[in-house]
Structure 1
Amino acid sequence: MPSSFKKYPTTRIILDCTEIFVEVPSTMLAQSQTWSNYKHHDTYKVLVGVAPTGNVTFVSELWGGRASDKEITLKSGELNFLEPGDNIMADRGFEIADILPSGVTLNIPPFKGNAAQLTAEQVQNTMDIASVRIHVERAIGRIKNYHVLDGIIPLSLSHIANQIFTVIAYLTCFLPLLVAPGKEE
């Protein structure tokens, strides 16, 4: 376990979703499924999980950009690999605590809620989590650095888009670790 996870020793996986642009489908139903309000474009969305070292350990199937992070997490099968005592780290918007298996915890930055601002302790907690959660963002960046997914994926490749993304994601495991075990960043 990297020493940067000293405060989070039970972290098993860091989760985040990313989106890639896809050609606009011709049918209205397909358009409604791929439209992403976040990207304001038609997209495929995928759940990526990384170990604390930054290695990609899980890639879901591609979903239409309309799918929620929670829906993808629930239906991806990733939760089946977790054991009691494990901890998932994710971003603030990843509201999946109610679907986690018994004994599995979720570590996300605190919400401001109705308060005018976060307390000093909440700000520090947010910064601590962000400093280690960033590894999933860096891993996704490595996937996108292959530039195979640049631009807009044509619909003619939709039948192999899952395989393309998965192969690229797992190719990043041959790169040096993002965070070496037991080393400071």
Structure 2
Amino acid sequence: MSLLKNTKRRLSFQRVGPSTLHCCVPLCTFSSRYNRLISFHSFPKLGNPLRELWLVNIRRDFTPTAGTRVCSRHFLPWDLVQKSPKSLRRLKTGSVPKLFHWNNYSLHSAATDHERDRDHDYCVTHGTENREAQPRGVLQGGEPVLQSQADWGLLGSGVGLERYACSDDHVHHYTRFTSYQHFQHFWRLIEPAVKTYMTSSDACAAAGSDSSLHTTKLPFIDELLLFLMHLSVGFPPEDLAVRFGLDAPAVSRVISTWGHFLSQLLGGTCLWLSGELVMTLLPPEFEAFSDTQVVLDCVEIYCQRPSATLGHTEQFSTYKALVGMAPHGAVTFVSPLFAGILSDCEVFRQSGITSVLQPHMAVMVVRGLLIEDVSRCRVHRPVCLPEHTQNQSKQSVEQIQAMVRLRNHVERCLRRITDYKLFDRTAPAPVCGSIQELFHVACYLLNYQSTPLAHP
């Protein structure tokens, strides 16, 4: 029996040719020396943006040479073309490696890339590795290749969600959802409403469209990705137009349409939670403040004012809003944006939150939100760690440390809003007309991007 096993082992690794090509992808051990069925493909030319995407996808930071190869096992079946059984297999233009050990050599679905203008690679099998290498070009003027293909995606080929399906880090960076699966779950929740809204006669009439709001070549889910990239990373329409293969006016229409739609859809859900549910979900940090119903803070947004005289006088450069979060991190209150210079106390008074607060509840505030004189509820304010704690008793030190941990927890929750790059800098003038809708959508999405919002 052991002899039979040894014979099979020798046959399975029998040398089939003099070629010594190896796949450069991590965790891949395929070699042309012992395999006739696998083909090996060289990298795109230097200066081709596709080259950087290959490096990002295979997760290697190195400089490919003329002899560096990626085996055909990492490409989708329809990426490979062979005119006859004896001819070389080659890659279709625009093909990139997508199947790896870390995604079990499979994807949920494979998006077909737009064809590029020039071929970039030819297959090399055993016995043909001495073929003259393709010339390596450089960008005109000596400019370097894009520094971060992970940020730029594939220019000119249409960025889509499936391009980032293998990397939860990329999905989180561009959308603020924790993973690709989490994003897909949110999409399944809103997909029926998306299709209904985009074809409704009222919405189309408001947008000036005859039959449908879907006027781009992108699928709805990729339009959502475009909108989230604008919101989360702050990419301007001109940048997104290059990434998605659209023109800038079309990108602006997508952003406006999705901002209005998500504002209506997510804003129609009741955010305010009952005191009993807040108590049930209370984190350990709030044990000493168990009557806390909501944590409040004022958020400031700065907008670029238009250069035109009329627009300059009608549009403000500073806006404030009051945002409330439950102790466990769910957004439970978002006020309208108040333009101009208003004190935090006045924003609290005009926000409308006093209509839902009851006298037996307590609110927690941080920083300079001085509302003790206008609030009918108890106000908690976590303190900072004192400079001198050497003479404090053990019980006093533990209480101070608990307050500091509580303050850190509160600030982490509130910092999630400013993680949106569109709002942690001066917003460009073109989006200021819809800044309130965009801000509200950003706040509503926080309840879906990490921990789902708890409902009674």
Same fold (TM over 0.5): yes
Q: Which of 132, 151, 157 lines up with 2:431 in the alignment? A: 157
TM-score (norm 2): 0.31
Residue aligning to 1:183: none
Q: Is the 8 A contact 1:61 1:76 kept in 2?
A: yes
- Structure showing greater radius of gyration is 2
Give the drift of 1:5: 0.9
Question: Structure 1: which amino acid aligns with 2:379?
Answer: L
Q: Which of 366, 379, 383 lines up with 1:91 in the alignment? A: 366
Residue aligning to 2:420: 146
Which SS does the other structure have where 1:6 is aligned? Answer: helix
Q: Is the 8 A contact 1:5 1:52 kept in 2?
A: yes
Question: Structure 2: which amino acid aligns with 1:3?
Answer: P
Deviations 1:127-168 (A, max 9, x none): 534422444432333223332335322344333211100101
Residue aligning to 2:350: 75
Which SS does the other structure have where 2:350 is aligned? Answer: helix
Q: Is the 8 A contact 1:10 1:86 kept in 2?
A: yes
Residue aligning to 2:297: 16
Would you say 1:171 and 2:450 are equivalent positions?
A: no
Q: Which of 322, 346, 349 lines up with 1:47 in the alignment? A: 322
Q: Which of 61, 75, 80 lines up with 2:336 in the alignment? A: 61
Give the drift of 1:100: 1.1
Over 3 Å counting, the alpha-carbon distance change for 1:73 and 1:135 in structure 2 is farther
Alpha-carbon distance in structure 2 between the residues aligned to 1:65 and 1:85: 33
Give the drift of 1:2: 1.3
Over 3 Å counting, the alpha-carbon distance change for 1:52 and 1:60 in structure 2 is same
Over 3 Å counting, the alpha-carbon distance change for 1:175 and 1:126 in structure 2 is farther
Q: Which of 288, 293, 305 lines up with 1:7 in the alignment? A: 288
Q: Is the 8 A contact 1:20 1:45 kept in 2?
A: yes
Alpha-carbon distance in structure 2 between the residues aligned to 1:161 and 1:141: 19
Would you say 1:105 and 2:105 are equivalent positions?
A: no
Alpha-carbon distance in structure 1 between the residues aligned to 2:419 and 2:442: 10
Question: Structure 2: which amino acid aligns with 1:21?
Answer: Y
For structure 2, the residue ranges without an aligned partner over 5 or more in a row are 1-281
Give the drift of 1:70: 0.6
Q: Is the 8 A contact 2:383 2:403 kept in 1?
A: no
Which SS does the other structure have where 1:7 is aligned? Answer: helix
Q: Is the 8 A contact 2:366 2:382 kept in 1?
A: yes
Over 3 Å counting, the alpha-carbon distance change for 1:80 and 1:93 in structure 2 is same
Which SS does the other structure have where 1:98 is aligned? Answer: coil
Alpha-carbon distance in structure 1 between the residues aligned to 2:297 and 2:318: 16
Deviations 1:102-149 (A, max 9, x none): xx10011469xxxxx999598876653442244443233322333233
Structure with the largest fraction of helix: 2
- The 5 Å alignment of 1:111-122 reads 120=392
Residue aligning to 1:37: none
Alpha-carbon distance in structure 1 between the residues aligned to 2:338 and 2:396: 33
TM-score (norm 1): 0.71
The Cα RMSD (Å) is 3.4
Residue aligning to 2:99: none
Alpha-carbon distance in structure 2 between the residues aligned to 1:122 and 1:46: 36
Deviations 1:44-72 (A, max 9, x none): 22211100101111111122362111111
Alpha-carbon distance in structure 2 between the residues aligned to 1:65 and 1:132: 32
Structure with the largest fraction of strand: 1
Which SS does the other structure have where 2:298 is aligned? Answer: strand
Residue aligning to 1:39: none
Give the drift of 1:78: 1.0
Give the drift of 1:13: 0.5
Q: Report which stretch shifted further, 48-57 or 91-100.
A: 91-100
Question: Structure 1: which amino acid aligns with 2:345?
Answer: K
> Number of residues paired by the alignment?
163
Q: Percent identity?
A: 35
Over 3 Å counting, the alpha-carbon distance change for 1:138 and 1:25 in structure 2 is farther
Structure with the bigger RCO (C-alpha within 8 Å, sep 6+) is 1
